[in-house]
Structure 1
Amino acid sequence: MSSPVQLIPGAISELFASVSETQVLTLGDRYGIMAALLDETLSEEEQRAINRLLRGAIKGRIEVIKI
């Protein structure tokens, strides 16, 4: 089965860098994470980056905003 979502190469690393710098997870960032999770070809490094972002949000180190 092919993936319905095609990620831009480097999108996860850019997202990770942006959120790490601002400590804010926007609605657009969350959609990016959702799209990445639907992609079955994520590398282990990309999966770890997403997990770190989600753990940061759960622990309150990253602010989740509605914008």
Structure 2
Amino acid sequence: MFPVKLLPGAINEITVSVCETKSLTLADRYGLMAAILDESLDEEERRAIDRLLRSTLRGRVKLVDELSVTN
């Protein structure tokens, strides 16, 4: 199995994108999956992921099947 390596700043970029678009894209979801598998995440990044997931469950963020959302 290949190790999963998250790009630096990826969680922050996903969070900013979701805040602007209120949508979680397919690419964002793959990024979150990679982040969850990354054992080097700090506590702040884990909390940011938790907030994104809670917002999605509460219906504040919608899931879209596009790779990216353009304004």
TM-score, shorter chain, exceeding 0.5:
yes
One-letter amino acid of the structure 1 residue matched with residue 47 of structure 2: R
Tell me, in whole angstroms, the C-alpha distance in 2 between the residues paired with 1:41 and 1:31: 17
1:49 CA displacement: 0.4
TM-score normalised by length of structure 2: 0.87
Post-superposition Cα deviations, 1:8-45, rounded to whole Å, max 9, x if no partner, equal 11111111111111100011100000000000010000
Sequence identity (%):
58
Q: Which structure has the highest helix share of the two?
A: 1
CA RMSD, aligned part only?
1.1
Using the TM superposition, give the Cα deviation of residue 7 of structure 1 relative to its aligned residue in structure 2, in angstroms: 1.1
Query: What 5-or-longer segments of structure 2 have no aligned partner?
Result: 67-71
Partner of 2:69: none
* TM-score, normalised with respect to structure 1: 0.92
Gap runs ≥5 in structure 1? none
